[in-house]
Amino acid sequence: MTADGPSPEWILDIGQGFWASKTLMSATKLGVFTELDRNGPQTVEELEDALGLHPRGSRDFLDALVALDLLDREDGQYRNTPESAAFLVEGKPTSFVGWFEMINDRLYPFWDDLETALRTGRTQNEIDDEQTHPFEGVIYQDDEILEQFVGAMTSLSMGAAEVFAHEFPWKDHETVVDLGTSEGIVPKRIAEENDHVHAIGADLPRIEPYFRDFAGKSPAADRIEFQAADFFADEPLPAADVYILGHILHDWGLDDKRAILSKVAEAVNPGGAIVVYGTIIDEERRAAELPLLMSLNMLIETPDGFDYTAGQCIEWVHEAGFEGGEAKPLPGPDTMVVARK
């Protein structure tokens, strides 16, 4: 191979990418970053004792985290990088620990069957062939899986919640519904930063205890409410000035996406708005890797779900009765689409 010829390096990085991914997820699961945050820099021997690591692989494991820029090492002691301290420590408001734990425990094994999903179009998770709702089956019935799932959704939505709380024009609106709210990070932060807004978290009844435990501790708890809602039931959704749908539409096929948006349009007060956010694919479908990979994850996780471009989303909200529509980036891989009624 000549010096100016093609290099296999990037292909090897992709093909072996699960090595780095699993190293990060294992470090998160084992509590490496949380331990260093709480007890300060430590040697390999100290971390072996604290985390129960075997000496055979511990040094290579920790040094691999250094090479991945997830840890620093100085004078034989390991410490968190600024990014790890911000995003990989359990309990911090910016933590992605819950998200990575769910990827590690649930999604990582399911992706081993991607080839089967691509050949059959069928889910490759806990859902059996008779189930059509991706959440009412195993996830919403198993306490351990559900607790991990709602925590993961909180991790994934924290950045968006901060943007909504501080940058959306709440002076023009008094009520908001976060549809598919999970633990309620979005209504919680909106209510905390906007003292005239009444915030409703709407989700299936099974979620209410998790919502009350998380959002109920807020200093704005008197303006944060949970309402049981199923957007496929006959009952109307609660009325509000603003509806927020985060990481919701990609769970469903096209007909269901349109049905959800139509039902939301009926619930939004005149002059109100809809905000749809998630891993939205770029219009040319070639630049944004994670949204396209997330759409493959929907293939594995849901019977009919898929991710979409902002243009597609705007078309669907227009069909539902909204006007305008603009796409704006959010922290991390997410994008939001805002339209008015």
Active site (catalytic) residues: 250
- Helix, strand or coil, per DSSP, at residue 318: helix
- CA atoms of 167 and 65, how far apart (whole Å): 36
- C-beta of residue 270 within 8 angstroms of C-beta of residue 297: no
- CA atoms of 155 and 149, how far apart (whole Å): 10
- C-beta of residue 165 within 8 angstroms of C-beta of residue 199: no
- CA atoms of 190 and 163, how far apart (whole Å): 9
What is the phi-psi region of residue 332: left when phi exceeds 0, alpha when psi lies from -120 to 50, beta otherwise?
A: left
User: What is the edge-to-edge ordering of all strands in the sheet holding 224-228?
Assistant: 224-228, 198-203, 175-179, 240-246, 268-278, 335-340, 323-329
Q: Got the DSSP string for 133-186?
A: -TTTTHHHH-HHHHHHHHHHHHHHHHHHHHHHHHHS-GGG-SEEEEET-TT-HH
CA dihedral (255, 290, 110, 211) positive or negative: negative
- C-beta of residue 79 within 8 angstroms of C-beta of residue 36: yes
- CA atoms of 260 and 200, how far apart (whole Å): 17
- CA atoms of 53 and 206, how far apart (whole Å): 37
Query: Beta partners for 42?
Result: 78
Q: Name the residue among 100, 80, 96 with its Cα closest to residue 88.
A: 96
Q: Give the pairing type, strands 224-228 and 175-179.
A: unpaired
Length of the chain: 341
- CA atoms of 61 and 19, how far apart (whole Å): 11
| Amino acid (one-letter) located at 227 | Q
